[in-house]
A and B are shown apart, each in its own frame.
Chain A
Amino acid sequence: MASPALEADHLTKRFGDFVAVDDVSFDVHPGEVFGLLGSNGAGKSTVIRLFCGLLAPTSGSGRVLGIDIAKDPEGVRRRIGYMTQRFSLYDELTVRQNLNFFGGVYGLRGRAKTERLAWAIQMADLGGKEDLVTRSLPGGWKQRLALACSLLHAPRLVFLDEPTGGVDPISRRRFWGLIDSLSGEGVTIIVTTHYLDEAERCDRIALLDTGKLVALGSVAELKEVFAGRAVLEVICPRYLEAQERLEKEDWVHEVSLFGDRLHVVVDDAEEGRRRILALLESDGNTPATAERIVPSLEDVFIHSIEAQGGKA
């Protein structure tokens, strides 16, 4: 296999006593769509900021496209694209002025600049909108313009930090279409998100929790965590009481709460279903359903984080 597009090797970042990134190691393959997942404060953005050279690692090392992030942050920056959730654009400038500015800042000029700008407008589907003031654009357009600005210098690797935050579902889907086509052109994409449906679209994902890497692999691989076990979705009137009750049983591996539903992990689906019904019926808390479901990534994450917590 080709050398990795990005490598994290025992990467650690401390802010005083706070460990934002704790001994994280992983590789990203060229052309891969790699998802960094985790809740707020899990360390996703810090990892990206380390790789963009905005922060220096406390210990460990990282390489982007073969360049060491601590030794040559400028060399890294020249070769990467970076887009944040905040769509860092100049609101009072027009679409074209924004593209022109970022093109200039990336050192483009002459024909190359004209060509890249035309490519960007076409890619982001902003044809005919060039002279609109950015402030007046809907969120989805701003998002595509921000992506276009970060791709003007044709980087081989792009960091997208929560790129779909605050954007409507249709624009999100459209944006992921763009990500897929970029990946098809061989661009490596590292994306953070907290939307699980987006995570399912990544080739591989890394799950971070309080700065630690708790799971790494393809979506299918991670789902195999549940191999040989079944996840049952239980809907019953007093779900909090039921959760407490089920957690005490040794034949129940895990109980997690999704809104007003319980996901219960057991060894055997039929056996588990029978036992759950019997147990909750005796409490007068008869479930409306206790059905086997296909585990979602969310089940995987909760499982991974709890397993990690159990070890510590």
Chain B
Amino acid sequence: MFLAKVIGSVWSSVKWPELGGLKLLLVRPYSLADLAGDADGAAPAPTHDGVVCADVLGAGVGEDVVIAYGHAARVAVSEMLPDGAKPGVPIDAAVVAIVDRWAVNRQ
């Protein structure tokens, strides 16, 4: 899992049916240097390359989120969808938490 900031969204009309109704977000992971910058009081800005992930929690642009990869991402999406299990959903990254607060103290 990793910390990231939501910077946008992605949508498409031609896709696998299992992806229907699934919101896709564009996020930027925080690097170690980004997080350490928080100690100076300045709001950290993520600098890594973007990652596209599924979102069933309703995260919005500007919010910080925790992203899970792989099977954990599919578990997160499946348990939040109304029809329960969707094991075939072809995603490999998903928002699993919308961050209220984090504290980092890099020694």
Do A and B make up one complex?
no
Contact residues of B with A, CB < 8 Å?
A: none
